[in-house]
Amino acid sequence: DTLTRREDYVAPSHWIRTVDLSFDLEPAKTLVISRMQVEPNADRPGQPLRLDGEDITLTRVLINGESVSFHFEDGQLVLDKLPAEPFQLEIRNTCAPEKNTQLSGLYTSGGGFFTQCEAQGFRRITYFPDRPDVMAVFRVTLKADAKRFPMLLSNGNLVESGTLDKGRHFAVWHDPHPKPSYLFALVAADLVCREQKIRTRSGQDHTLQVYVRAGDLDKTEHAMNSLIASIAWDEARFGLKLDLERFMIVAVSDFNMGAMENKGLNIFNTKFVLASPATATDVDFGNVESVVGHEYFHNWTGNRITCRDWFQLSLKEGLTVYRDQEFSQDMAGSLSARAVKRIEDVRGLRQTQFPEDAGPMAHPVRPDSYQAIDNFYTATVYDKGAEVVRMMATLVGREGFRRGMDLYFARHDGQAVTCDDFAQAIADANPDSALATRLEAFKRWYAQAGTPRLKAAGRFDAETRSWTLTLSQHTPATPGQTDKWPFVIPVAMGLLQADGTPVAGSERVLVLDSAQQSWTFDALDAAPVASLLRGFSAPVILDWEASEAELFTLLGHDADAFNRWEAGQRLAVTRLLGAVRAGAPLVLDAAYLDAMRAVLRDETLDCAFKELVLTLPSEGYLAERLAEAGEPVDPQAIHAAREAMRAQLARDLHEDWAALWDAHSNTGGYRPDPVSCGRRALANLALANLVLDAVAREDAVWQGRALQRFKDAGNMTDRLGALGALVHGRSQLAANALERFHAMFRGEALVIDKWFALQAAAPEHDGEVFTQIRSLAKHPDYSLRNPNRARSLLMTMTALNPGAFHRADGSAYAFWAEKVREIDGFNPQLASRLARALDRWRALAEPYRTLARAAIEQVAAKPELSPDTREIVTRALA
């Protein structure tokens, strides 16, 4: 049993105060010398020192300059008979960066050296107590060939650099901030740099740098601007200043995660740094801004205050996601642009986190155990964790949350702490708040897994002119947790009259903290229309039997944009699932079409919002709605219903789509601001509908226009939009456009990823799409070794294209199993992500269920499966 349990936490036996690390960098064999100042933990005297190490070769161990005896136990290097006083420990070892295909630790990519140490990569570099509560001041010396590796970077400040013999050079870096090993980084590569000097509001000077490969410099402006904006935002909103003279971002194309917040030296997947109008879409621009922000915000929430142990991961991730979401909303500016961002975030949460919470990997925001910590960098820890922070902010108010953050830093700066410490600080700074008075109950959000079902029922009493709302909650069992305590659920709400006008004074935040509670609203002339869970004020499934008329009222009039959108989605879900359940063709009613038309024609609404309303709920979301109701999920039935509804919206709203295209297809020079992005999004949705309808009617005009658009487009958003319209609309012009696109962007790896992903996302039709995916997997440009490229086909198919993945002959499952097994042989982290694709197999209808189980068993049957993937398939089959 290799399970690590939260309750088994013990403080380290020794503290490491300083580390002097020296690297002799060679791709085949790098020599690492580590000299540490070690101090026994006075609370745990007489303990041996256990050092983690993995895939490295030990050559020497010295204590105070003398060799000592040591042994290995459970993969750890164990030193006993240690001095009771502080001592110097020196370790020498080697590692083989070019053989490191896991991309964890020190590895090579594109001829350079890069590191990734979170969560447990540092032990793949040298022996060390590789746990976040051991924090040391690092001094790092890098030596490498000057020609091949002209840039030598590590955390902190450059203190010295120069040349060595045999064409080598060196650099010495010193990071004054004590940090855990997971925040260590080095880069040695042939890179170029965009640099900008800034002076912050508080008058301090800083040098900001973005390092990329030569040829990518023209794609770094947006990342730099995003960094500058992040620095200003954190100072303005939270009073948190940049604490380093120099802040560096480095882009690398082989990277398992999105990016990494190493102190002063953030290392990024190229996907979240590089952006130019010609190669990146509006969504990419938005992602760069939010990921740059996210990593920067970690400098305080993660680096200055870090996690005591990895069970507390959400302490930094939930909080930092909350901060990056707030940042992006503030950057978006207008109230409605903020709502658009909120809708997108909630859509993401429901698409990924809700199924996770309902499946075999369900775990609390603060998990209780793990086999491989890398498996717990999840939507639950990140996105549900962010919702938990958001609920705290709702319960204490904006000013109160700022007070809480201030207290958190006053108490814990420089420490490694727990989720409890964070919640306590927010509560203590707001002693009379709805949070402080219910703190223990609120913290169940950290401890209990599963998505609560919130049931709402209203009753109007004409005699007393009052309306009583009753809220009740229930959370289904999750693995290892059968009975749940009630959660503390903030329910933001307001009431509308039947004609859509707001009921004055009805806006409030109800706090449900028991199984069932009621609230009464007085002085009403008629039964109101309730707008519940505004802004999605809690991560719950709202079970509210609103009538169609009420939903139409909310869609047309609610003051809360989120709930307007939500009403539209509910109207679509009712129709889609109605058709699925009835096993009958979907025929759209006039009322729904009229409502959609009204949205499209409403001049007070933003384009971005219209695009969201007119985008149907995803097949994955619909599947979850069925699963929640305990009904078997037939992915092909869902796919058919959704395709039928898309076709009818394309046909019946044709005039509107054409008018919208005319009005919004020319957005002028490229700017990634919310208004322009919204116009492009809506124009692209219109074009997709126009092509879909044109193909159905065998009309050449709109297909030709789409092809022309594809050729003329002045930016990637428009070009990819037109290409998507042709490919996803199954136009005969698609093949030619795909070929041109590939030729046009042959040298742009991130664009070629899009080329694969776009094809893997095409709506399935008679197995053609899966057949195409299988043949693309043999394309000379395809590779499983590069995580972005591997994901472009495989994750797109499994996560975003249920119609292609769930086939009655099980062929796509078998394909998936084969790829998981293959990838697991060289990159367990990537494999175990992909291995989660069939987590929800138990919810499937036959024959999918049996076939899916067989495919998971096929993965599990592989001898020498990594602990990462083993944990996933074992849980799935349990």
Quote the Cα angle for 553-558-563, to 5°: 100
- Binding partner of 259, given Zn ion, ligand BAL, none, CB within 5-8 angstroms per partner class: ligand BAL
CB of 379 to Zn ion, least distance (A): 13
Q: Which of 234, 309, 317, 619 binds ligand BAL (CB under 6 A)?
A: 317
Calpha distance 435→438 (Å, rounded)? 5
Nearer to ligand BAL, 310 or 661 (CB): 310
Cα four-point dihedral sign 600, 605, 608, 612: negative
592 three-state secondary structure: helix
- Binding partner of 260, given Zn ion, ligand BAL, none, CB within 5-8 angstroms per partner class: ligand BAL
CB of 259 to Zn ion, least distance (A): 8
- Binding partner of 791, given Zn ion, ligand BAL, none, CB within 5-8 angstroms per partner class: none
Q: Which stretch binds ligand BAL (CB under 6 A): 291-299, 735-743, 772-780, 851-859?
A: 291-299
Answer yes or no: 261 catalytic. Answer: no
Q: Which stretch binds ligand BAL (CB under 6 A): 86-94, 292-300, 602-610, 690-698?
A: 292-300
Nearer to ligand BAL, 255 or 756 (CB): 255
- Binding partner of 209, given ligand BAL, Zn ion, none, CB within 5-8 angstroms per partner class: none
| Region 87-146 residues binding ligand BAL, contact defined as CB under 6 A | 118
Helix residue spans in 127-183 (DSSP H): none
Q: Which stretch binds ligand BAL (CB under 6 A): 294-302, 570-578, 721-729, 859-867?
A: 294-302
Calpha distance 522→525 (Å, rounded)? 9
Nearer to ligand BAL, 315 or 612 (CB): 315
The residues of the shown chain that bind Zn ion, judged by CB under 5 A, are 317, 320
CB of 298 to Zn ion, least distance (A): 6
Residue among 713, 693, 716 at smallest CA distance from 703: 693
Return the amino acid letter for 719. R
Cα four-point dihedral sign 605, 611, 617, 620: negative
- Binding partner of 675, given ligand BAL, Zn ion, none, CB within 5-8 angstroms per partner class: none
Residue among 537, 619, 533 at smallest CA distance from 573: 619
CA dihedral 151, 155, 159, 163 (to 10 degrees): -30
Q: Which of 131, 194, 222, 294 binds ligand BAL (CB under 6 A)?
A: 294
Tokens representing residue 759 in the block: 């094809």
Nearer to ligand BAL, 109 or 433 (CB): 109
What's the per-residue H, E or C state across 427-478? Answer: HHCCCCCCCHHHHHHHCHHHHCCCCCEEEEEEEEECCCCEEEEEEEEECCCE
Nearer to ligand BAL, 261 or 824 (CB): 261
CB of 396 to ligand BAL, least distance (A): 25
Nearer to Zn ion, 382 or 815 (CB): 382
Residue among 414, 227, 201 at smallest CA distance from 304: 414
Q: Tell me which of 295, 356, 643, 764 is the catalytic residue.
A: 295
Supply the DSSP string of 599-651, one letter for each residue.
HHH-TTS-HHHHHHHHSPPPHHHHHHHHHHTTPPB-HHHHHHHHHHHHHHHHH
- Binding partner of 257, given ligand BAL, Zn ion, none, CB within 5-8 angstroms per partner class: ligand BAL
- Binding partner of 611, given ligand BAL, Zn ion, none, CB within 5-8 angstroms per partner class: none
- Does position 624 bind ligand BAL by CB under 6 A? no
Cα four-point dihedral sign 100, 104, 107, 109: positive
Interaction pattern, residues 245-284, with ligand BAL; x per rule: CB under 6 A? ------------x-xxx-----------------------
- Binding partner of 304, given Zn ion, ligand BAL, none, CB within 5-8 angstroms per partner class: none
Helix residue spans in 73-183 (DSSP H): none
Nearer to ligand BAL, 152 or 372 (CB): 372
CB of 321 to ligand BAL, least distance (A): 8
**How long a stretch of residues is the chain?**
878
CB of 294 to Zn ion, least distance (A): 6
Distances (CA, A) of 587 to 182, 591, 594, 643: 55, 12, 14, 12
Nearer to ligand BAL, 395 or 417 (CB): 417
Query: Do the beta carbons of residue 385 and residue 276 sit within 8 Å?
Result: no
Q: Which stretch binds ligand BAL (CB under 6 A): 86-94, 290-298, 607-615, 778-786?
A: 290-298
Cα four-point dihedral sign 742, 748, 754, 760: positive
Contacts of 462 (CB under 8 A, 6+ apart): none
Cα four-point dihedral sign 334, 340, 341, 343: positive
Query: Do the beta carbons of residue 349 and residue 539 sit within 8 Å?
Result: yes
Contacts with ligand BAL by CB under 6 A: the residue count is 9
Nearer to ligand BAL, 260 or 596 (CB): 260
Nearer to ligand BAL, 271 or 294 (CB): 294
CB of 578 to ligand BAL, least distance (A): 40
CA dihedral 475, 479, 484, 488 (to 10 degrees): -60
- Binding partner of 118, given Zn ion, ligand BAL, none, CB within 5-8 angstroms per partner class: ligand BAL
Calpha distance 750→720 (Å, rounded)? 13
CB of 236 to Zn ion, least distance (A): 21
- Binding partner of 619, given Zn ion, ligand BAL, none, CB within 5-8 angstroms per partner class: none
CB of 559 to ligand BAL, least distance (A): 34
Query: Do the beta carbons of residue 64 and residue 83 sit within 8 Å?
Result: yes
CB of 389 to ligand BAL, least distance (A): 14
Q: Which residues are catalytic?
A: 295
Judged by the rule CB under 6 A, the positions of this chain that interact with ligand BAL are: 118, 257, 259-261, 294-295, 298, 317
